[in-house]
Structure 1
Amino acid sequence: MSAAILSRRACLSRLRNVRSASHGAPQYNEPTGLLFGEKPPPPGHRRIKEPWENLWYWGMYGSMGVGAVLLYFKPDTSIQTWALKEAKQRMEERGEKYKYEPSSSQA
């Protein structure tokens, strides 16, 4: 084979091994056994909240509360409810009773 073909193959094989936009090996954080990697405060001290935490709590639980209220007061749009209402209206227009009442005659 010619030298040009060999150098071209070598160049292509090197390009396959090159990772574009890489910054080295992936970083590994050794587990510490601490919740969220936070060290517990010394005895007699409280944990200091970060500024975004209260906003997150109010936003998350507030939106859940609003969603629950909206679901509770959601209008009933089922086909069964509509059909029952329509059937009652049509039977009343014809003069029929829509509730069953057993006859008082003895058989």
Structure 2
Amino acid sequence: MTPLLRTLAARRAVAAGPSSMMMMKRSFSATLPKKGGHSPQYDPPTGWLFGVKPGEKYVNEGWENLYFYGFLGSFVVFGVAYAWKPDTSIQTWALEEARRRLEAEGILEDPDNKKN
């Protein structure tokens, strides 16, 4: 279909209304798309926080401990890795390079060769 024909078909569909626009988008199916998903999964409100009545003990589900320790553990690992990461900033490199060049020219003394 050429771009001109596509444009004309789109204009005709817009003028005809929204149902023909839908049929234009879904040209391989004669049925309209259904709204929603599987079965209704609505839990009516009970008024209790997390559905636990006062006096009852909350029972953990199987995934909650794994999620809790895995999430906090990953933060600990990230914090340790971030604390000991190497300093790769351009300022640190430039300062070290300037110190090496000044030592090579003899302007700055080598801190390792101090006289006691």
TM-score range, shorter chain: 0.5 to 0.7
Match of 2:10 in 1: none
Larger radius of gyration between Structure 1 and Structure 2: 1
Of residues 32, 53, 62 in structure 2, which corresponds to 1:19?
32
Match of 1:85 in 2: 96
Instruction: Give the TM-score, by structure 1 length.
Output: 0.60
Q: Map residues 24-103 of structure 1 onto 2, 5 A cutoff.
A: 27=40, 29=42, 32=45, 33-35=47-49, 38-43=50-55, 45-97=56-108
CA RMSD of aligned residues (A): 3.4
Instruction: Give the TM-score, by structure 2 length.
Output: 0.56
Q: Where does the alignment leave 5 or more consecutive residues of structure 1 unmatched? A: 1-11, 99-107
Q: Any runs of at least 4 consecutive aligned residues in structure 1 with deviations exceeding 3 A, and if so which?
A: 15-18, 23-31
Whole-Å separation in 2 of the counterparts to 1:41 and 1:97: 75
Contact 1:40 1:47 in 2 (8 A): yes
**Count of residues paired in the alignment:** 83
Residue 75 of structure 2 aligns to a residue whose secondary structure is helix
Q: Percent identity between the aligned chains?
A: 39
Cα offset, 1:30, TM superposition = 6.7
Match of 2:113 in 1: none
Paired letter, 1:40? V
Change (3 A) 1:94 1:25: closer
